[in-house]
A and B are shown apart, each in its own frame.
Chain A
Amino acid sequence: AQKITQTQPGMFVQEKEAVTLDCTYDTSDQSYGLFWYKQPSSGEMIFLIYQGSYDEQNATEGRYSLNFQKARKSANLVISASQLGDSAMYFCAMRETGNAGKSTFGDGTTLTVKP
C-alpha cells in the first residue's frame, strides 16, 4: 500500500508568491520522521526539511516550512517568496522506527515558478 501520497503531479506559482505542496502519509508507528527533498533537473536529491513525529512545533528552514498536522497525517511543504531556482521536482518521504528506518518516497510534485 502506498504510504506517501503526493496528489499534485504539477504546480505553478508566480515568482515571489508562496506555494504549498501537499503530502499525506500512512503509518501505524508512533515514532517516525518526515522529510522533504528537492530534485532539480540535474538529478541530485537535496534535503530541505525534517519533521519528527513527536515535534510539537512545525519545522522551518529559511524559506521552507512544514505544515505538520499529525491527526490528519499530513506534512505539507510551504515555500515562501518563490524564486525561479525553486523550479524542480519535490519529494515527500517518511522513515519509520518499525521498518528498520527504511524510507518511503512519494511520486513527487513538479513545481514551476513563473517570472
Chain B
Amino acid sequence: EAGVAQSPRYKIIEKRQSVAFWCNPISGHATLYWYQQILGQGPKLLIQFQNNGVVDDSQLPKDRFSAERLKGVDSTLKIQPAKLEDSAVYLCASSFRRTETNTQYFGPGTRLTVL
C-alpha cells in the first residue's frame, strides 16, 4: 500500500513570494490533514478535510494561507504572501475516518525556508 505522498520535499523562497504544496493521501482515506511543524515543536493542525469539505480550519491563517481538496483526493496548500515565520515543515496526513480511533499516517513533509 502506497503511503502519503508530498511534493516538493524542500522549498526556499523570499518573503512576500507565494508557494504551493501538494499532497496525495493513502487510497481510500477520506480524511486529510495539513500540519505546520516549527522547529522544536509538535505539529499544529492547520486544516482538516473530510472528503472535499472542510471540517476544521480554525488555526489556518486565512489572510495568507489557503487549501483545497476539490475532488476529495489530492490537496494543495498555498501561502501567499509568505512571511519569515512561515519557515517550517508542512506535513500532510490522512486517515480512513476522522474518529478518535483512526490512526493518521503522515507523508514525508515539505521543508519550507522563507528568506
Contact = CB atoms under 8 A, between A and B. Distances in A.
Contact of B55 (A4, A32, A100, A104): A100
Interface residues on B, range: 20 to 34
A75 to B, nearest CB: 13
A102 B33 CA distance: 9
A86 interface: no
Nearest to B6: A44
Interface in A24-82: 29, 31-33, 35, 37, 42-47, 50, 52-53
Of the listed residues B55, B100, B101, B107, the one surrounded by the most CB atoms of chain A closer than 10 A to its CB is B100
A91 B42 contact: yes
A107 B104 CA distance: 18
Given A102-B45, A105-B42, A107-B41, A44 B100 contact: no
A96 interface: yes
Contact of A102 (B56, B89, B106): B56
Nearest to A91: B42
Contact of B104 (A32, A44, A103): A103
Given A33-B101, A52-B101, A97-B100, A45 B93 contact: yes
Interface residues on A, range: 20 to 34
B93 A101 contact: no
B108 interface: yes
B105 A47 contact: yes
B6 to A, nearest CB: 10
Contacts of A43: 89, 108-109, 111
Given A35-B103, A100-B56, A101-B100, 11 more contacts: A32-B100, A35-B104, A37-B106, A44-B109, A47-B104, A50-B101, A93-B42, A101-B31, A103-B33, A104-B45, A105-B44
Q: Can you list the 6 inter-chain pairs with the closest CB atoms, starting with the nearest?
A: A105-B42, A101-B98, A45-B106, A95-B100, A33-B100, A43-B109
Interface of B: 31, 33, 40-45, 48, 55-56, 89, 91, 93, 97-109, 111
